[in-house]
């Protein structure tokens, strides 16, 4: 049987994505219903980038699935520097049942996956954040009664990993996806083309606009992310200063008023109040960010269960 990985959002089919979300809903009500890692079997969880929610949710999730989370400090391991990615993969892949990696380049993750026979899960790269999107879709299901036909507007940096994952995952879920972003920060052309194809197949649509009001108009969900992604700290002044290109795309009460009256607000965290989102919005009645953060646990447990079962 072929080993299944989750390197980008569309490594699942739309049907599989729906099944993983169904399982996540079940695991939220019965947290120990699945034990695919009973033994315990170990999962290597490797971090090259800062983490809070990812570390916590994977450590807790692996334990609740009956396994043992082996946390690896990327700064000590120096994968790809001290020894090659291929050699590291051959060592780790013989000792654990799955590998979770939060790293920089998507190419690093893909190279690792090409040298192991256990599932590899993208816990964030510069290009995609698929685990976050499973949690977001689970949250939308809970608060909007489903995803198909719903409209999500993402405001902010349209070229970052969250924008890319919103495009792919929401299109797979049959949603209408709008990206409100400055023209100079549009999504990567290949990701946009893939999302448009998927949306056409699933009954959704994709729109990229430089007008934040057009993006937010009547939307069921508003989502945003920091304007300074990890690895872009050197651009912080340009991205957050008085002339920030993203200033008009901040999720404020004024912009939220253009969305549907019962719209919900998502933010993957950490949030910077007063920049990409107004404090009164993230702390307001329409914010569901704390459910979204909790759902990382349930969604990732469902994903690990699916990949381990499909690869066995």
Structure tokens at 176: 């209408």
The answer to whether residue 90 is catalytic is: no
Claim to verify: residue 124 and residue 158 sit in the same structural domain: no
DSSP string, the chain: -PPP-BSSGGGS-HHHHHHHHHHHHHHHHSTTS--TTTTTPEEEEEESS--SHHHHHHHHHHHHTT-EEEEEEHHHH-BTTTB-HHHHHHHHHTT-SEEEEE-S-HHHHHHHHTT-SS-EEES--SS--HHHHHHHHHHHHHHHS-STT-EEEEES-TTSHHHHHHHHHHHHTT-EEEEE--GGGPPPHHHHHHHHHHHHHHT-EEEEES-HHHHHTT-SEEEE--SS-TT-GGGHHHHHSTT-TTGGG-B-HHHHTTS-TT-EEEE-S---BTTTB-HHHHTSTTB-HHHHHHHHHHHHHHHHHHHHHHH-
DSSP string, 133-185: HHHHHHHHHHHHS-STT-EEEEES-TTSHHHHHHHHHHHHTT-EEEEE--GGG
The answer to whether residue 239 is catalytic is: no
Claim to verify: residue 109 and residue 145 sit in the same structural domain: no
Find the catalytic residue in 225, 286, 298, 300.
225
The answer to whether residue 170 is catalytic is: no
Please state, in angstroms and rounded to a whole number, the distance separating the CA atoms of residues 173 and 215. Answer: 19
Claim to verify: residue 61 and residue 125 sit in the same structural domain: yes
Claim to verify: residue 256 and residue 149 sit in the same structural domain: yes
How many domains are there within the chain? 2
Please state, in angstroms and rounded to a whole number, the distance separating the CA atoms of residues 153 and 139. Answer: 15
Domain, as residue range, for 183: 133-290
Binding residues: 78, 102, 129-132, 161, 225, 229-230, 268-269, 296
Please state, in angstroms and rounded to a whole number, the distance separating the CA atoms of residues 244 and 179. Answer: 18
Q: Tell me the whole-structure pTM to 2 decimals.
A: 0.96
CATH number of the domain encompassing residue 114: 3.40.50.1370
The confidence score (pLDDT) of residue 312 equals 83
Claim to verify: residue 124 and residue 202 sit in the same structural domain: no
Find the catalytic residue in 132, 164, 220, 239.
132
Beta carbons within 8 Å of 292's beta carbon, 6+ residues apart = 135, 136, 139, 266, 267, 268
Binding residues for L-ornithine: 161, 225, 229-230
Find the catalytic residue in 10, 11, 127, 129.
129
The answer to whether residue 132 is catalytic is: yes
Claim to verify: residue 274 and residue 189 sit in the same structural domain: yes
Claim to verify: residue 199 and residue 240 sit in the same structural domain: yes
Claim to verify: residue 35 and residue 49 sit in the same structural domain: yes
Structure tokens at 281: 């919005």
Beta carbons within 8 Å of 250's beta carbon, 6+ residues apart = 155, 224, 275, 276, 277, 278
The answer to whether residue 296 is catalytic is: yes
Buried b (16+ CB within 10 A) or exposed e, 193-209: ebbbebbeebebbbebb
The confidence score (pLDDT) of residue 230 equals 77
Claim to verify: residue 244 and residue 258 sit in the same structural domain: yes
Find the catalytic residue in 164, 178, 185, 296.
296
Beta carbons within 8 Å of 223's beta carbon, 6+ residues apart = 136, 152, 153, 154, 155, 162, 166, 265, 266, 267
Claim to verify: residue 125 and residue 149 sit in the same structural domain: no
- In the sheet with 120-122, reading across from the earlier edge strand, the strands are 68-73, 42-47, 98-102, 120-122
Find the catalytic residue in 267, 268, 298, 300.
268
Find the catalytic residue in 5, 53, 102, 185.
102
Claim to verify: residue 142 and residue 199 sit in the same structural domain: yes
Mean pLDDT by groups of 10 residues along the chain of 312 residues: 94 98 98 97 95 94 98 89 94 97 96 97 97 98 98 97 98 98 97 98 98 98 92 80 91 98 97 96 98 98 98 90
Claim to verify: residue 109 and residue 156 sit in the same structural domain: no
Binding residues for carbamoyl phosphate: 78, 102, 129-132, 268-269, 296
């Amino acid at each position: 049987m072929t080993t299944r990985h989750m390197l980008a959002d569309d490594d699942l089919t739309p049907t599989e994505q729906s099944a993983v979300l169904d399982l996540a809903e079940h695991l939220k009500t019965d947290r120990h219903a699945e034990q695919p890692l009973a033994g315990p079997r170990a999962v290597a969880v490797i971090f090259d980038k800062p983490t809070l929610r990812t570390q916590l949710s994977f450590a807790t999730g692996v334990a609740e699935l009956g396994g043992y989370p082996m946390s690896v400090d990327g700064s000590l391991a120096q994968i790809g520097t001290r020894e090659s990615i291929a050699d590291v993969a051959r060592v780790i892949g013989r000792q654990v049942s799955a590998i979770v990696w939060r790293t920089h380049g998507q190419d690093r993750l893909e190279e690792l996956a090409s040298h192991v026979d256990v599932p590899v899960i993208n816990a964030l790269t510069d290009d995609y954040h698929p685990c976050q999107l499973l949690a977001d879709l689970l949250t939308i299901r809970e608060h909007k009664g489903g995803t198909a036909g719903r409209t999500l507007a993402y405001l902010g940096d349209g070229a970052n990993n969250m924008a890319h994952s919103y495009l792919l995952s929401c299109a797979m879920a049959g949603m209408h996806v709008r990206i409100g972003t400055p023209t100079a920060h549009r999504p990567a052309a290949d990701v946009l083309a893939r999302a448009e194809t998927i949306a056409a197949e699933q009954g959704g649509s994709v729109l990229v606009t430089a007008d934040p009001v057009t993006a937010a108009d009547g939307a069921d969900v508003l989502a945003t992310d920091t304007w300074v992604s990890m690895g872009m700290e050197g651009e912080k002044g340009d991205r957050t200063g008085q002339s920030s290109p993203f200033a008009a795309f901040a999720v404020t009460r004024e912009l939220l008023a253009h969305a549907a009256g019962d719209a919900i607000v998502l933010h993957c965290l950490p949030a910077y109040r007063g920049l990409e989102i107004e404090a009164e919005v993230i702390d307001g009645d329409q914010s569901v960010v704390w459910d979204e953060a909790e759902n990382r646990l349930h969604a990732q447990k469902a994903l690990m269960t699916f990949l381990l079962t499909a690869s066995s």
